[in-house]
Structure 1
Amino acid sequence: MPEWMFSKAMRSARVKFTDHSVLRIIQILGKLGNWRRVLQVIEWLNIRERYKSNRLRHVYTTALHVLGKAKRPVEALNLFRAMQQEMCLYPDLVAYHSIAVTLGQAGYMKELFDVIENMESPPKKFKSGALGKRDLGLEPDTVVFNAVLNACVRRKQWEGAFWVLQQMKEKGLQPSTATYGLVMEVMLACGKYNLVHEFFKKVQKSSIPNALVYKVLVNTFWREGKTEEAVLAVKDMERRGIVGSAALYYDLARCLCTSGRCQEALDLIEKICKVANKPLVVTYTGLIQACLDSGKIQNAVYIFNQMRNFCPPNLVTCNIMLKACVEHGLFEEANELFNKMLDDGNHISRRSDYKFRVIPDSYTFNTMLDASIAENRWDDFEYVYQKMLHHGFHFNANRHLRMVLDASRAGKGEALEMTWKHLAQEDRIPPPPLVKERFCMMLEKEDIDSALACITPNSAGESQAFCRSAWLSLFEEKAQRFRKDTLVRLMHEARVVAARSNSPNPVLQNLLISCCDYNRPRVKVPGFNQT
């Protein structure tokens, strides 16, 4: 939104802009995920001379929190640096926590260390405001060090985890259970499974492990292929009275799917639902993907069928199953699912129908087109291709040209004709290989007029693709597809078309000369330069 329009919108809101009202606006925009408007509010405040604030630092800190939730580390860092330049805005510990968590989750290690250095050594000069007697120096605490561990997870730097523990020891900070959980996550990300178990023992000695710690332990057992140990770890957690998170039960369920214990995984869904925020369809899709990742297609089909009893699959789930069936040679099952999706598209009359029915997208059609070609099911290919165009998806030369040409050469020219009509309706120029294939197909049927109609609309812009040598190569390559007297008739008809034309057509001229060169003895063509 242009600055003047935004300014007008703010003024016309008839709101008395106080610190509280601005904070509420930023919080509401944050819940909506509209971080760009949050930045515009901040910019608007900076140019309002009449706006006097006593808590402007809190406004900026709230904006930092919103940018962190929106996963915008660059914008958050820019705002934080702007705060560091003004005495009245200089970040407090809450602001440092916010920027540290944001940078840590994004894996911005260098920038995070710069922030920690600034905490301990604040600037001595500001753009506005005097330092006075206020001491701005702060010490990094557990929250900041946990943010460093988050960055170590993203960067897979296990040495950084030991540096954090050493720094906390030097500063007299006792690592919390969350800290140890993050250290274990670092070790898991780096493949140091033995260190994960060592730190788990340390947690057990010093405190009670939380759900995060058990989640990392379950994932470690999963990576090690120790499914039964993962199950026993969760039972130990429940015996201690610790409430497991949805992510923990979800990872355990996927672990069970990987080892083929699908029914046990499905039994965990009730526990996942009690603590989950994500839709049920996401959970089922994750279990299906876990089965496929371990190469167990039949287990994936079983879970997919069970899923239909509790929630309708979405487009992502259907596309995953479609691709899996194709890759494992289950073409008939893929075709059945595809036709079900097509049928769903015929029964959508209002917006609410999309919650229960799935219609195919371009990925769906391309998957089935590839599968039909791989199986040499050309009738199925034509059917899928026709449905793709009918559903409003366009011909993509990079994706579909080779498919259409292969179908035509396999004796299925309907796809080529559909493409030709589709491009004509969209006022698009067909690619040269498509033109040449249709040209040959019409000659094969001895339909000379239609063959010439393929090339006459083409301009000289494709002169390289329709030069004399290109036409001659085409005749020599496709000679077996049509009779020689067909080319003689083509020459005569081409002369007639050229004579009727008000302006010369280079493509037609090159065609006619190439015909003469191919049909030896050479036939002289009046009005054309044959050199």
Structure 2
Amino acid sequence: MGGAAFFTEVAIEPLSSVIHSSLFPSRFSISHSPFFGIPRKTKKHSGITRSRISSNGGGVFIEKKEFEFKPLFDDYLKAMENVKIERDSNNRSSNSLRKKKHFKGKKEGEKNTKFADFEDFRVEKEEDSDKMIVKEKLEKGVSYRKIASKKVTDNNIIQTGVKRKGEILDMERAAFKSLENEDNVIDKPRISRVDMEERIQKLARCLNAADINMPEWKFTKMMRSAQIRFSDHSVMRIIQILGKLGNWRCVLQVIEWIQSRERFKSHKIRYIYTAALDALGKARRPVEALNLFRQMLEHMASYPDVVAYHCIAVTLGQAGHMKELFDVIDTMRSPPKKKFKTIIFEKWDPRLEPDVIIYNAVLNACVQRKKWEGAFWVLQELNQQGRQPSSTTYGLVMELMFACGKYNLVHDFFKKVQKSCIPNALTYKVVVNTLWKEGKSDAAIMAVEDMERRGIVGTAGLYYDLARCLCSAGRCQEALKQIDKICKVANKPLVVTYTGLIQACLNSGDVQNGVYVFNYMQKFCSPNLITCNIMLKGFLDQGMFEEAKLLFLKLLENGSSVYEKSDYKDRILPDIYSFNTMLDACAAEKKWDDVEFVFAQMLQYGHHFNAKRHLRIILDARSAGKKELLESAWKHLVEAERIPPATLTREIFCSRLEDGDYNAALSCLLSSPWIEVNWTRILTENGHRFQEDALVALMHEVSILVSRNENVVLEQLMRSCKEFLKPPRF
């Protein structure tokens, strides 16, 4: 290495021109500062920047106090790596210089001695600079593991040398070990939106299928196992998916879990609550939605905005909760009841005025409650605000008038709609229903044709109501032509449309057209159980018992061909409504054999005895001589471990005693909890059915049982039998 030279301030002027021309570009200027010849290095000492520029082994050192070096975190890491590399190279160079000192002459030795002295000075300065950097970083809050004390003296640093400084640097680097760890999340690739969405949907499906009564720790484990970073967006997506699945209970469970998490710091908690309100509204849970809305009023971060007001208003309006809906409107217009700290947001004012969506929700609630006065209140509010009612608002007002039976007001409002705005499909739908009630099917057809000329696309409900109107008028062929229009805009299955047309025909008493539509629909779709039950009831209402019986037997045949669970999808089986309808019809026709057959089939299909529906039929059948039906009902109740009705127990007791089987009569009595039975009246009313020998044998058996164990019911029965068998006095 070449020798280093020291230049005083006097030598600056002659050297400046040479250095300026050889080393620096023309756009840089050289300040008048002392130069020191040292190896290449960049160090920061108390805000002073030193730089070496080498040329043929020599160099200059520029000292500038105005250039302060403030490294970033990444720059600091690079600088620490460079210090370690340069320290090793300097150590090797210093050792080579010491060897040259012993083998060269006196003159060269003197130079080397001077250079060695300067090297010691440089190392000491470097150690001081390292100490300054570490101290500065500690003052800035950087935490280092197992780092040496700040009060390390210069002598200790000099004695430890490069090895000690290397250990300090290694310990400093260990403080940032997480940046080099391969398993760290920072180095892992970011999860794509598609993968994150798949994880969210998978978690939502798992929550939907899980038990709602699971403990909190199990719920937390399920949430954490999904490997999802729970942000505002992810939580909202989970709630939205659960809302689409209709699991409103799980939505509330997610909200409760978020509220109990201290680590979850949401910046958009209002949006999460709003998503939950929307999910509860779609599930038609107005009470739960109102409770959640009241929780939102307790905090400034979750205080409702206009979207939240829309959600709760629509939910309450669909449920018909008018009082609660008007309370929400008052809250919307009033300042918060709870005082919030609005230091940052000094002009924060959450008060809002109701808009069209809120007023339409009020109209929906009025339709549910049939409060036609609410329509005038809404129109008055819109007039005060200077707003023109929309066609949807007019349509809801017309629907309200139609629900209240004020058909003349429906036509009046429809004329206002035609003058002020373009009518929509809702207004035409209400007009069609009104004309249907008034029996004006031709006018209904003309109204729909006028709508189509205006270029307005009708809804499925509009064409569906028109088709039912035509079916009620006996114009079944024209009604079926509307099916094509319904199919273009309908989302419901086609069988629902045909079922509604059949119901319209039967309601008007036109069974023949109902049968025609029932047979016609089988060309395009299979009737479901509701369709069959409607036809069954329609046949019986019109006195067509045999047709109803044939349809019922066809349903039973479908049940006989079911062997696996998959067969239930393709077979229509009778339900309890079907059996009850046929039992009532058979009993009304006094066809007791058919009653016995239908009742046996009902029990075979797994349906249970209902005392309110079936007891009277069974007693009437018993009076007609059908004892088997009575025994079948009794056996069914005993096997199901159900308590038979007192009337049924009394009848089965009398029936068995009439047959002379007093043991069976007594066993039926002992298996039923009879309390306060008037045996005298029972024996008097049914005494003509009993034989005297049967009563004597029964009294004897009862006396034996009473002698063994006391029984109030048996004692009353024994006394009543003695009085009944006592010969009359003349």
Regarding TM over 0.5, the answer is yes
Instruction: Give 1:93-492 correspondences, 5 Å limit.
Output: 93-123=306-336, 125-126=338-339, 130=343, 132-455=346-669, 457-458=670-671, 461-465=673-677, 470-482=678-690, 486-492=691-697
Q: Distance in 2 between matches of 1:147 and 1:201?
A: 23
Is the Cα contact below 8 Å between 1:19 and 1:55 reproduced in 2?
yes
Is there any run of 5+ residues in structure 2 with no aligned partner, and where?
1-212
Q: Distance in 2 between matches of 1:96 and 1:431?
A: 53
Displacement after TM superposition at 1:234 (Å): 0.8
SS of the residue 1:136 aligns to: coil
Is the Cα contact below 8 Å between 1:312 and 1:356 reproduced in 2?
no
SS of the residue 1:157 aligns to: coil
- Name the CA shift for 1:424/1:102 in 2 (closer, same or farther; >3 Å): closer
- Name the CA shift for 1:57/1:412 in 2 (closer, same or farther; >3 Å): same
- Counterpart AA for 1:194: N
Displacement after TM superposition at 1:140 (Å): 2.0
Higher relative contact order (CA 8 A, sep 6+): 1
- Name the CA shift for 1:133/1:335 in 2 (closer, same or farther; >3 Å): same
Displacement after TM superposition at 1:127 (Å): 5.5
> Deviations for 1:5-51, whole angstroms, at most 9, x for unmatched residues?
33332233221101111111011101101112112212221221111
Q: Distance in 1 between matches of 2:521 and 2:591?
A: 30
- Counterpart AA for 1:189: A
Displacement after TM superposition at 1:214 (Å): 0.9
2:240 equivalent to 1:27: yes
Q: Distance in 2 between matches of 1:48 and 1:182?
A: 44
* Aligned mate of 2:285, from 57, 66, 72: 72
Structure number, greater radius of gyration: 2
Q: Distance in 1 between matches of 2:271 and 2:384?
A: 32
- Name the CA shift for 1:502/1:218 in 2 (closer, same or farther; >3 Å): same
- Name the CA shift for 1:308/1:53 in 2 (closer, same or farther; >3 Å): same
Q: Distance in 2 between matches of 1:123 and 1:45?
A: 24
- Name the CA shift for 1:458/1:51 in 2 (closer, same or farther; >3 Å): closer
- Name the CA shift for 1:493/1:311 in 2 (closer, same or farther; >3 Å): same
Q: Which residue of 1 aligns with 2:264?
A: 51
The count of corresponding residues between Structure 1 and Structure 2 is 514
Q: Which residue of 1 aligns with 2:724?
A: 518
Q: Distance in 2 between matches of 1:495 and 1:142?
A: 84
Q: Distance in 1 between matches of 2:694 and 2:356?
A: 88
Displacement after TM superposition at 1:380 (Å): 0.4
Q: Distance in 2 between matches of 1:255 and 1:226?
A: 9
Q: Distance in 1 between matches of 2:549 and 2:500?
A: 23
Q: Distance in 2 between matches of 1:116 and 1:279?
A: 38
Is the Cα contact below 8 Å between 1:107 and 1:154 reproduced in 2?
yes
Displacement after TM superposition at 1:429 (Å): 4.4
- Name the CA shift for 1:497/1:195 in 2 (closer, same or farther; >3 Å): closer
- Name the CA shift for 1:43/1:408 in 2 (closer, same or farther; >3 Å): same
- Name the CA shift for 1:127/1:516 in 2 (closer, same or farther; >3 Å): same
TM-score, structure 1 as length reference: 0.90
SS of the residue 1:228 aligns to: helix
- Name the CA shift for 1:328/1:23 in 2 (closer, same or farther; >3 Å): same
> Deviations for 1:154-198, whole angstroms, at most 9, x for unmatched residues?
232333222222222222222222122122112212222222222
Is the Cα contact below 8 Å between 1:494 and 1:508 reproduced in 2?
no
Q: CA RMSD in A?
A: 2.4
Is there any run of 5+ residues in structure 1 with no aligned partner, and where?
524-531
Q: Which moved more, 1:436-445 or 1:148-157?
A: 436-445
- Name the CA shift for 1:112/1:423 in 2 (closer, same or farther; >3 Å): closer
Q: Which residue of 1 aligns with 2:186?
A: none
Q: Distance in 2 between matches of 1:32 and 1:88?
A: 28
> Deviations for 1:89-144, whole angstroms, at most 9, x for unmatched residues?
12222222222222222222222222223323222744566552223232222222
- Counterpart AA for 2:600: Q
Displacement after TM superposition at 1:505 (Å): 5.2
Q: Which moved more, 1:67-76 or 1:438-447?
A: 438-447
Is the Cα contact below 8 Å between 1:488 and 1:519 reproduced in 2?
no
- Counterpart AA for 2:709: S
Q: Which residue of 1 aligns with 2:300?
A: 87
Q: Distance in 2 between matches of 1:124 and 1:448?
A: 77
Is the Cα contact below 8 Å between 2:306 and 2:352 reproduced in 1?
yes
- Counterpart AA for 2:696: M
> Deviations for 1:368-394, whole angstroms, at most 9, x for unmatched residues?
111111110000001011111111222
Displacement after TM superposition at 1:493 (Å): 5.5
Q: Which moved more, 1:445-454 or 1:184-193?
A: 445-454
> Deviations for 1:388-421, whole angstroms, at most 9, x for unmatched residues?
1111222223332222121111011110121232
* Runs (4+) off by over 4 Å: 127-131, 504-509
Displacement after TM superposition at 1:243 (Å): 1.3
- Name the CA shift for 1:490/1:139 in 2 (closer, same or farther; >3 Å): closer
Displacement after TM superposition at 1:228 (Å): 0.9
- Counterpart AA for 2:726: R
Q: Distance in 2 between matches of 1:492 and 1:43?
A: 70
Is the Cα contact below 8 Å between 2:676 and 2:713 reproduced in 1?
no
Q: Distance in 1 between matches of 2:349 and 2:340?
A: 17
TM-score, structure 2 as length reference: 0.66
SS of the residue 1:49 aligns to: coil
> Deviations for 1:417-460, whole angstroms, at most 9, x for unmatched residues?
212322332234443433333333334434444444443x346x
SS of the residue 1:88 aligns to: coil
Is the Cα contact below 8 Å between 1:29 and 1:38 reproduced in 2?
yes
SS of the residue 2:301 aligns to: helix
2:684 equivalent to 1:495: no
Q: Which moved more, 1:128-137 or 1:152-161?
A: 128-137
Is the Cα contact below 8 Å between 2:699 and 2:721 reproduced in 1?
no
Q: Which residue of 1 aligns with 2:187?
A: none
